[in-house]
Structure 1
Amino acid sequence: MRRRLQLALSLVVISVFVAACAPILAANPRYATDSGAKPQGQPQAAPPPAATPGIDVPKNDLTWRDCTSRVFTEAAITPLPAVTLDCATFDADLDPINGATGNLSIGVVRAKSAQTPADAGPLVMTTGSDLPSSTQLPVWLSRSGVDVLNTRPVVAIDRRGMGLSGALDCRDLFDRQEMADQAQFQSGDDPVANLGAIVQTATTSCTDTIAPGDSAYDNGHAAEDIERLRSTWDVPTLALLGIGNGAQVALAYASSHPTKVARLVLDSPLPLGIAAEAAMEQRVKGEQAALDAWAAQCVAANCPLAPDPKAAVDAVLNQARGYDSLGSRSVATVADAIATALAYPRGDRVAAMNSLASAVAGTRSGDWSAMTNLINDAEALRDTDGHFVNGCSDSLNRPTPDRVRELVVAWGKLYPQFGAVGALDLVKCLNWPSGATPQEPQNLKFPVLLLGTQNDPVVGNEGVAAVAATVLNAGTSNKRVMWQGIGHGAAIYSPCALPPLTGYLDTGKLPETDTFCPA
C-alpha cells in the first residue's frame, strides 16, 4: 500500500511539473492536437522589408546641349576620352518658401560615357556654395569618379548665382578686393571695424541686386531647386550626392521631401543648424590639420621646404603681414590660397604637395608669381559674389563684432597660421539678413551613406559624427567611409571611397561595415 501511494504521489508531482514548464504551449490550441493546427492557420510571417526605391530615368528630360570642351577647360581639366558633358538650364521659382514672386535660371551639367546605360537613372550631385558643382564634376571624373558613369549618368546642379546658374555681380571691384584682403591696408587699429564698414556697403549692394529674393539664397531654397528638377523630370525619387555645403543642401532636401529620396550620400557634411562661429572654428581646425599633414608629407618626401615646411609658411605669412620688405599681397589672400590648394589638390598627392611647396619657396625668395596664381585661383573658385550671397544666407547665429574681436586674438594663438584670418572672415556676414534654421529630417525610410576626410580644410572632420547623430534621430541607419588624406570630398579624391559609394547607389544597401581609406 505504501509503495502504491508513493507511486501515485510521484505521478501527481510529475504532472504538475510538466504543466508548470509548458504554459505557453498549453495556451495555444494549435499545439494540443495535430488536427488543431490546420483550422488556426499558419504562423504569422515577418513582414517583408520595404522595397528599395529605384532611380528612374527622367520622363521629361531637359534640353541638353554639348558643352564638353567648355566645362572641362573652365575646370582646367583635360577632356576625358569617351566622356560627354551636356549643359542645360531650367526655371525655378524665386521664393517658393516665403512667397516672393519671380523666376531664376538654374544650371546643370550631365556627364555620360560610352558605357553609361541608356535606361539608368541619374545621380544628382551638388557641392553647394563651396564652389560650383559644374566645376568640381570634371575634377571628380578626372579621378575615379568616371567609373560611376559605367552604371549611371551624373547630373551636377549649381547653386543660385554660381556657375551655370548665372554668376551674380553685385559688389564693386573695390569692395570685393577689400573684403578679400580683410581691409588689411586701411589705416587704423581696428580691423573688425574697418572690414565691417566695407561689408555694410557690399551687403546693401547685393541685397538690392537680388531683391525681392534677399532671403531666397539659403540651403532651404537650394533644396527647392532640386525639387523643381525632380518634378520637371517627373520621377518619383532622386539619388543625391552632397559634398560639403552640398551635403547640407541634400540633408535639407531629405528633411522637406523625405519621400522623394531614393539614395542619400553626404560627403564632408556639417549639421543643418550649426552656428557660424562653430562652423568657422571647424574650418580653421581643418586648415591647421591639413597644413600639419601636408608638412609631414613634405618632410618625408624631402620637398623643397624640408626640413621645416611650416616655418616656411610662417615666413610667407609674415611677409604678407608686412613684417619685411618682400610683402606683396594680404595675409588673408595668402592664407586662403594655401588652404584652397590643400582643399582642392591638382594632380596626384606628390604633385600637389610639391606644387604648393614650390610656390611657398618662391615667395620666400621674393618671386610671387606662383603664389599669385594660387591666390587668383582661390578667389575665382571660392570668393565670387555668388559665394558671398549663398554663404551668408546659410550663416546662422552670427557672433557680435566684439565677439569677433575676442576670437581674432584667441584663435590667433590657438591656430597660428589660419586662426585670425578665420575669425575676421566672420565679419563678412554680420550685416546679412538673418535666415531661418532648417528643420532636421524626421522619419527617414532609407539608409544614409556618410563620407568624411581626416584633414579637410573646408569643414574639418567633426561634422560626420554630428550628422550621423542626426540620421539616427531621424530613425534610419548609416555607415561611414573615412579617408585619412588631405582634401575636401572623400568621394572626389579617394579611389578607395568609390566602391562603397557605387555599391550603395546600385543596391540601396549600405556596406556591412564602416570603411577607412588610407591617405
Structure 2
Amino acid sequence: MRWHRQLPRTLVVSVVASVVVAGCAPGLAANPNFATDSGNSPQGQPQTSAQQAGPPPLEAPKNELQWQDCTSRVFSQAAVSPVTGVNLDCASYDADLDSLNGATGTISIGVVRATSTGTPRDAAPLVMTTGTDLPSSAQLPVWLSRTGGDILKTNPIVAVDRRGIGLSGDLDCRDSFERQEMMDQAQFESGDDPVANLSAIVQTATTNCTDTIAPGDSAYDNAHAAEDLEKLRSTWDVPALALLGIGNGAQVALAYAGSHPNKVARLVLDSPLPLGVAAEAAADQRVKGQQAALDAFAAQCVALACPLGPDPKGAVADLLSAARDDRGPGGVSVATLANAIVTSLAYPVGDRTAATNGLAGVLAAARSGDAGPINALVNRTESLRLTDGQFVNSCSDALNRPTPDRVRELVVEWGKVYPQFGTVAALSLVNCLNWPSGKQPGDPNDLKTPVLLLGVQNDPIVGNEGVAAVAATVINSGAPSRRVIWQGVGHGASVYTQCAVAPVVSYLSSGELPETDTYCPA
C-alpha cells in the first residue's frame, strides 16, 4: 500500500459511487425530540417564526445550457444501472473565478440534468448539490435509482458539481506520494509525533495546490460555490432557484440564501451544518456520528447474524487496532481503514440488510487474511471522497482551525472518548492547518422562503447536531421551518428513504411546509 514520490498525475476524472436506499413509511410526531442547544437533553422543541410574504416564483429557464446526452456515461461512472425512462444530459458554464475578491478569469462548472418521460417540459428545475462530500454528478444517478425519481414527475433535477470536483474538472495538485501519506496520516513515517509528521506532508501539498489554483487560491469556499449557483440562475434568466443541498451542499445552499435571499424560491437543507461551525466542532460532530453509525451497524449485524460473529463492534475494534499497530489487512493504515469503513456506512450498497452483510463480509474477509475486498473499498473511498478538489474545497471552508498543540491534545482526548475513530478524526484536522484562512459567509437575513430541514440520526459524515443549529439560523432569518429526521444510517435522508422524499415533493409543488415535523423509522 506504500507509494513512492512521483511527478504529478495528469488530470483524471474518476468518480465511483454506488449508493442505494431503504424506503420507509412516513411517521408523524407532534412533538419530536430534535437536537437543539436548549434543555439538558440533546434534543429540544422545534420553533418556527410567523409566516411572511411568499417566496419569489419558480420558472423554467429562459436560456438553456448546451446540453448533451450523457446517460450511459454518468450512470456507468456511478456504478449504477441506468433507470428506465430517465435521461441524463451534461453541460458546463463559465463562472467568474473570484468576483468576491476581484481576481479576474473564469472557471468551468459542470452540471447534469435529469428528466424522465413524465417530467413536464415547462417545469422549473430543482438545483441539487452535495458540495465537497462527493461529486453531485455521482450522487444524482444513485438518488435517481432509489427515491429521486419521484421528483422527476414534477421537476427536472440539475446537479451542480463544486469547483475542481467531478464534472467541474478534477483538480490535480498533489503528487501520489502526498496523497498516500495524507490518506495514511503519515502513520509509517519515523518519529513519535504524528502531528508533526503529517504537518510536513500537508505543508508541501498545500503549497502545491495553492500554486496550482492561483490566482484563485481564495476562491474555492462556500461563498464562491454560492456565486456559481447565482451564475447559473442569471444564465437561465429566472427570478429564483429551488435548491436542495446535502451535507456540505446544504452549506452552499445556505450561503446562497445569505447572499441572495430574494432569489430563493425553495430551500431544502439535508444533513446540514451551520456556516459558522468551527473546524474542531465540525470534526467532533462528525466523529460522534461515526461512532453512532458503527453502533447502529453492530446492532443490525447482531440481529442478522452477520459474518462478523456475535460481537461485530469488537471485531471492528480489533481490525482498527491491528492497523494502528502496522498490522492492518494488506498493510493499510488505521486512517485508510477507518475512512473505508466510514464510507461504507455513509454510502451503503444495497438495502439495509444487504449493506450490513456486505460491509460485515468485507471486514470478515480482512480478518481472515483476504485483503482484496477491503482494498476495493479503499479505492472506492479515495475516488469518492479524497480527491485533490475535495482537499482544496474542504480546507477553504474550514474555519477557526485549532493549533498543532490543540490537535495533539485532541489525539489523546478523542482517542479515549471515541475509541474506534477518535484518533483519526483528530489527526484529520491537520490537513487544513496550513491552508490560507477563509471568511464565513453571511447567514440569511430577512428570508421570505420557508425552509425544509432533513437529517439522519446516525450520519457518519456530519453527525446529527446540525439540523438544530441550522434551524436556529433559519429562525433568526425570519423564516419558518419544519424537520424530517430519518432514524437510519447514512448521509442524506432524501437519498436513503422514501419517507423523506414525500415531504420534499409536496414542498416543491406548493411552497408550503408540512404541518408537523416528521420521524422516519430506520
The TM-score, its normalising length taken from structure 1, stands at 0.90
Which residue, 367, 371, 374 being the options, matches 1:371? 374
Q: Give 1:111-510 correspondences, 5 Å limit.
A: 111-322=114-325, 324=327, 328-510=331-513
Displacement after TM superposition at 1:314 (Å): 1.1
Q: Distance in 1 between matches of 2:318 and 2:372?
A: 17
Displacement after TM superposition at 1:52 (Å): 4.8
Are residues 54 and 311 of structure 1, via their aligned partners in 2, closer, same or farther at CA, if it must alter by over 3 Å? same
- Bigger shift: 324-333 or 284-293? 324-333
In terms of fraction of residues, the more helix-rich structure is 1
Q: Distance in 2 between matches of 1:464 and 1:199?
A: 32
Displacement after TM superposition at 1:384 (Å): 0.1
Q: Distance in 2 between matches of 1:405 and 1:53?
A: 49
Displacement after TM superposition at 1:440 (Å): 1.2
The one-letter amino acid of 2:453's match is L
Displacement after TM superposition at 1:323 (Å): 5.8
Aligned residues: 472
Match of 2:416, SS state, is helix
Q: Distance in 1 between matches of 2:209 and 2:470?
A: 32
Q: Distance in 1 between matches of 2:354 and 2:422?
A: 27
Query: Are 2:89 and 1:86 aligned?
Result: yes
Structure 2 residues not aligned, in runs of 5+: 1-50
The TM-score, its normalising length taken from structure 2, stands at 0.89
The one-letter amino acid of 1:108's match is V
The one-letter amino acid of 1:211's match is A
The one-letter amino acid of 1:255's match is G
8 A Cα contact 1:128 1:249, kept in partner: yes
Match of 2:88, SS state, is strand
The one-letter amino acid of 2:409's match is E
8 A Cα contact 1:442 1:473, kept in partner: yes
Higher RCO (C-alpha 8 Å, min separation 6): 2
The one-letter amino acid of 2:469's match is A
Are residues 325 and 452 of structure 1, via their aligned partners in 2, closer, same or farther at CA, if it must alter by over 3 Å? closer
Q: Distance in 2 between matches of 1:393 and 1:511?
A: 35
Q: Distance in 2 between matches of 1:493 and 1:134?
A: 17
State the match for 1:63 in structure 2.
66
8 A Cα contact 1:320 1:327, kept in partner: no
Displacement after TM superposition at 1:50 (Å): 3.6
Displacement after TM superposition at 1:320 (Å): 1.3
Q: Distance in 2 between matches of 1:69 and 1:299?
A: 39
Match of 1:437, SS state, is coil
Displacement after TM superposition at 1:53 (Å): 3.2
The one-letter amino acid of 2:109's match is I
The one-letter amino acid of 1:304's match is P
Match of 1:103, SS state, is strand
8 A Cα contact 2:71 2:87, kept in partner: yes
Larger radius of gyration: 1
Q: Which structure 1 residue ranges, 4+ long, deviate > 6 Å from structure 2?
A: none
Match of 1:102, SS state, is strand
8 A Cα contact 2:320 2:328, kept in partner: no
State the match for 2:25 in structure 1.
none
The one-letter amino acid of 1:291's match is L
Q: Distance in 1 between matches of 2:328 and 2:113?
A: 49
Deviation per residue, 1:94-125 (Å, 9 max, x gap) = 00100001111000000000000001010000
Q: Distance in 2 between matches of 1:516 and 1:199?
A: 42
Displacement after TM superposition at 1:144 (Å): 1.1
Match of 2:186, SS state, is coil
Match of 1:217, SS state, is coil
Match of 2:258, SS state, is helix
Q: Distance in 1 between matches of 2:350 and 2:54?
A: 41
Are residues 252 and 119 of structure 1, via their aligned partners in 2, closer, same or farther at CA, if it must alter by over 3 Å? same
State the match for 1:4 in structure 2.
none
Q: Distance in 1 between matches of 2:104 and 2:465?
A: 38
8 A Cα contact 1:128 1:159, kept in partner: yes
The one-letter amino acid of 1:180's match is M
Displacement after TM superposition at 1:514 (Å): 0.3
Are residues 431 and 216 of structure 1, via their aligned partners in 2, closer, same or farther at CA, if it must alter by over 3 Å? same
Deviation per residue, 1:44-93 (Å, 9 max, x gap) = xxxx9745533211000100000000000000100010100000000000
Are residues 49 and 319 of structure 1, via their aligned partners in 2, closer, same or farther at CA, if it must alter by over 3 Å? closer
8 A Cα contact 1:243 1:268, kept in partner: yes
8 A Cα contact 2:328 2:334, kept in partner: no
Identity of aligned residues (%): 71
Q: Distance in 1 between matches of 2:326 and 2:130?
A: 37
8 A Cα contact 2:319 2:328, kept in partner: no
8 A Cα contact 1:58 1:235, kept in partner: yes
Match of 2:272, SS state, is coil
Q: Distance in 2 between matches of 1:375 and 1:493?
A: 22
